[in-house]
Amino acid sequence: MKHLLGVSALIAAITLAAWAWLGTGFDKLLPIRASEESFYVDRLLGMQFYVIAFLFALIIGFMLYSFIVFRRRPGDDGDGDHFHGNTTLEVVWTVVPLGVVLYFAVLGTGYLSDITSPETDELVVEVTGSQWNWRFDYPEYGISSAELFLPVNRQTVLELTSIDVIHSFWVPEFRVKQDAVPGMVHPLRITPTETGAYVVRCAEICGLDHSYMLADVSVMETADFDAWLQSQMAPPTGGLAEVGAELAQVNGCLGCHSIDGSENTGPTWLGIYGEEVYLADGSEIIIDDAYLRASIIDPGSQIVAGFENVSMPANFGAVLSDADLDALVAYIASLGKDKE
């Protein structure tokens, strides 16, 4: 009995210390909360931390106590107390944890439905991942963007997909994440609650530059957001090449192709138009419009020598229209030799 009191005191002390620390320190363990979902996630995580702290103290308390109190005295080589077990105890420590985990599972189910259920008047944004770029389309407005703009306090449904490998959309301040899977569209619902600048960080390994698959996020007041929409919906000014430059930006071409001749994952675009290029199969080809188009929609068919071990997403044909292709080709052509 004396021992039980002692160990209980020890456990209580560790638990209370941990709880006290959690009470002040929990928020510092995580990024700020910037979406409605983040509050649910943090609440559940916080509760789990309290339980974890207690359970940790429970086991460690018993161990520390035994370590000190039941250590063998020098010269004593007798045995410990002889008992084999206690069925009541076993049942208790089966049933109580069972109750605890079931409680959390039920609670978690409720929270999950809270953070995934749709509201009316959602803003729809189509999100397309590709190696190593995020592209955002606002289908209701016909806008494409390389940066995600969101109105504050309005639920947005991100419709995630990918044209090559699996990526994962994650803004730590919004907490929730969802994979962008090729061949499928998965919704992710977010209601931002704080205006400001954030970063989408791709959370699923997607090849070479996975670390740098980032995109900026701006959460704005509704009025600012509307103003942004208006500015984007204005018809494009400038020539075909400028439209192409914009497209190259939005689709992440520039993540792999430089326009200043520097080395990158793919061949540079500077001064290639009209030039001869060696292909991996040894043949030689002149870069013209037809070759460029073919290289974009079916990059596997003609592989540039020296780039056999890397690949360009094979599926751009699915997201680029004919007009887009014209613009991109015009843009690459405009980077022709004279700019060298």
Partner 1 sequence: MVIFSLGIIRGIVGQIVGTAVGLILVTLIRLLMGLPAWKAEPAMIIGALIGAVGFMIGVGALSDWFKWMGGKETPMHHGPPTDKPAWTRYFSVDYNHKVIGVQYAVTGILLVLVAGSLALIFRTELAQTGLQYIEAATFNTLFGMHGIVMIAGILLGVGGMINYLVPLMIGASDMAFPRLNAFGFWINVPGAILVISALFMGGWDTGWTGYPPLSVLAPMGVQAFMLGVYLVGISSIVGSANTLVTVAKMRAPGMSWFRMPIFVWAAVATSIIQLTATQLIGLSFLMVTVERVLGMGFFNPVLTAHAIEVGSPPGNVVLFQHLFWFYSHPAVYVFILPGLGIISELLPVFARKPLFGYKWIALSSLAIALVGFLVWAHHMFTAGMEPFLRIPFQFATMLVAVPTGVKFFSWVGTIWRGKLEFPTPMLFVLGAISVFLIGGLTGPPNGTVTTDLYLHDTYWIVGHFHATMFGGFIFPFFAALYYWFPKATGRMYNERLGKLHFWLILPGFWVQSLGQIAVGLLGMRRRIADYDPALGIQNGHVWITVAGYVIGLSVLVMIYNLAWSARKGPVAAANPWRSRSPEFQIPSPIPEHSYAEAFVITGEPYDYGLPGATYVAMNPSAAPAAAD
187 phi, psi to nearest 5 deg: -85, 145
Q: Verify binding: residue 21, partner 1, rule CB under 8 A.
A: no
How many residues belong to the site for ligand CUA (CB under 6 A)?
9
3-state secondary structure at position 170: strand
Which residues lie closer than 8 Å to 330 by C-beta, 6 or more apart? 239, 240, 241, 243, 244
Rule CB under 6 A: which of 91-150 touch ligand CUA? 129, 132
**Smallest distance, ligand HEC to C-beta of residue 49, A:** 40
Q: Verify binding: residue 328, ligand HEC, rule CB under 6 A.
A: yes
Q: Verify binding: residue 301, partner 1, rule CB under 8 A.
A: no
Q: Verify binding: residue 175, ligand HEC, rule CB under 6 A.
A: no
- The distance from CA 297 to its chain's CA centroid, rounded to whole angstroms, is 27
Report the distance separating Cα 291 and Cα 115, nearest Å: 48
**Smallest distance, partner 1 to C-beta of residue 198, A:** 11
Rule CB under 6 A: which of 60-119 touch ligand HEA? 97, 100-101
Q: Verify binding: residue 17, partner 1, rule CB under 8 A.
A: no
**Smallest distance, partner 1 to C-beta of residue 312, A:** 10
3-state secondary structure at position 258: coil
74 phi, psi to nearest 5 deg: -55, 135
Residue 130: Cβ-neighbour burial (10 angstroms; 0-12, 13-18, 19+): buried
**Smallest distance, ligand CUA to C-beta of residue 129, A:** 6
Among all chains, which residue has been given the structure tokens 């409720």? 110
| CB neighbourhood size of 128 (10 A) | 23
Rule CB under 6 A: which of 99-138 touch ligand HEC? 130-131
Residue 129 binding partner per list ligand CUA, ligand HEA, ligand HEC, none, with a CB distance cut-off of 5 to 8 Å that depends on partner kind: ligand CUA
Which residues lie closer than 8 Å to 105 by C-beta, 6 or more apart? none
Rule CB under 6 A: which of 249-288 touch ligand HEC? 251-253, 255-257, 265-267, 272, 277, 287
Nearer to ligand HEC, 165 or 181 (CB): 165
Nearer to partner 1, 30 or 254 (CB): 30
Cβ-proximal residue to ligand HEA, closest one:
97
Report the distance separating Cα 199 and Cα 289, nearest Å: 36
Burial 193-208 (b: 16+ CB within 10 A, else e): bebeebebbbbbebee
Residue 158 binding partner per list ligand CUA, partner 1, ligand HEC, none, with a CB distance cut-off of 5 to 8 Å that depends on partner kind: none
C-alpha dihedral sign at 20, 26, 27, 33? negative
| CB neighbourhood size of 326 (10 A) | 16
How many residues belong to the site for partner 1 (CB under 8 A)?
83
Residue 314 binding partner per list partner 1, ligand HEC, ligand HEA, none, with a CB distance cut-off of 5 to 8 Å that depends on partner kind: partner 1
Q: Verify binding: residue 213, ligand CUA, rule CB under 6 A.
A: yes
| CB neighbourhood size of 255 (10 A) | 19
Report the distance separating Cα 72 and Cα 172, nearest Å: 50
Nearer to ligand HEA, 63 or 280 (CB): 63
Choose, by CB under 6 A, the member of 188, 206, 250, 333 that binds ligand CUA. Answer: 206
3-state secondary structure at position 124: strand
Q: Verify binding: residue 142, partner 1, rule CB under 8 A.
A: no
Choose, by CB under 6 A, the member of 10, 299, 333, 335 that binds ligand HEC. Answer: 299
Residues within the interface to ligand CUA (CB under 6 A): 129, 132, 167, 202, 204-206, 210, 213
